[in-house]
Amino acid sequence: MAKLREGKLYQLLKESNNADEIFDACYNHAYSGKDLNARDEETGENFMHLLAEEIRHFTSARGVGIIYLMACKGVDLDIADINGDTFLHKICQKPHTHRVLVSAIR
């Protein structure tokens, strides 16, 4: 297991407001061949939990496309973190995430 919160992609999600840069990084991650279901060794979170934390980047039409892409690439949306929360739990707790929710469950 890795420390996902120490990775470059997580730092980009936290610090950048450049939608194109974030979209490209997530797209490249999806096609990188890396394990998209890798879990953080401390929190039990996977990549989707990190996206949920920074969901502000993914509520636009283009951002929702990334969520849909991840779901189609086989990301396990049912992985729970150490608190028992899945990606879907986390996004349901945030405002204006209806489109994200729909794209994830399709």
From residue 64, give the alpha-carbon distance in Å to each of 8, 54, 102: 21, 13, 9
What's the predicted TM-score (pTM) here? Answer: 0.87
Higher pLDDT, 1 or 40: 40
Q: Determine the average pLDDT of the residues in 65-69.
A: 91
pLDDT for residue 1: 56
d(CA 4, CA 10) in angstroms, rounded, equals 7
Pick from 21, 2, 3: nearest CA to 12: 21
Spatial contact of 39 and 45, defined as CB atoms under 8 Å apart:
yes
Residue 31 burial by Cβ neighbours in a 10 Å radius (0-12, 13-18, 19+): exposed
